[in-house]
């Protein structure tokens, strides 16, 4: 999704079809990452509610982890964000030599 430079986006449609605002995102101290929470963070970044860097800092995740979430949604939808699916994806990538 592209957007023009200017004021930050205040709200967007979240992964479950509801309005998603910065204050609706998971708390910064989230430790249990269910698929819905990951999808909300990815949707917020894609909509421009916060930057990828801000999301990684806010949630103490690496850029690689965020990329995995984003790719899992693109390839497999919300179900791809389940921990077991991400582990399987990482395993397949390692086997194929994609680190």
Number of helices (H), then strands (E), in the chain: 4, 2
* Residue 34, pLDDT score: 92
C-alpha dihedral, 27 to 33 to 37 to 41, nearest 10°: 80
* Residue 77, pLDDT score: 87
* Residue 11, pLDDT score: 84
What is the block-wise mean pLDDT of the chain (99 residues), using blocks of 10 residues? Answer: 58 86 95 93 94 97 94 88 71 75
* Residue 1, pLDDT score: 44
Q: Quote the pTM value.
A: 0.76
* Residue 29, pLDDT score: 96
Fold topology of 11-95: Arc Repressor Mutant, subunit A (1.10.10)
Write the CA distances from 81 to 9, 37, 70, 78, 92, integer angstroms.
Answer: 25, 10, 9, 6, 15
């Amino acid at each position: 999704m592209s957007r023009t430079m200017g004021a930050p986006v205040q709200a967007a449609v979240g992964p479950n079809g509801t309005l998603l605002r910065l204050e609706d995102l998971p708390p910064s101290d989230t430790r249990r990452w269910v698929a819905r929470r990951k999808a909300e963070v990815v949707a917020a970044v894609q909509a421009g509610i916060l930057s990828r860097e801000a999301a990684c800092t806010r949630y103490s995740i690496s850029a690689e982890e965020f990329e995995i979430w984003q790719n899992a949604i693109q390839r497999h939808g919300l179900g791809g964000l389940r921990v077991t699916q991400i582990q399987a994806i990482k395993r397949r990538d390692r086997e194929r030599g994609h680190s």
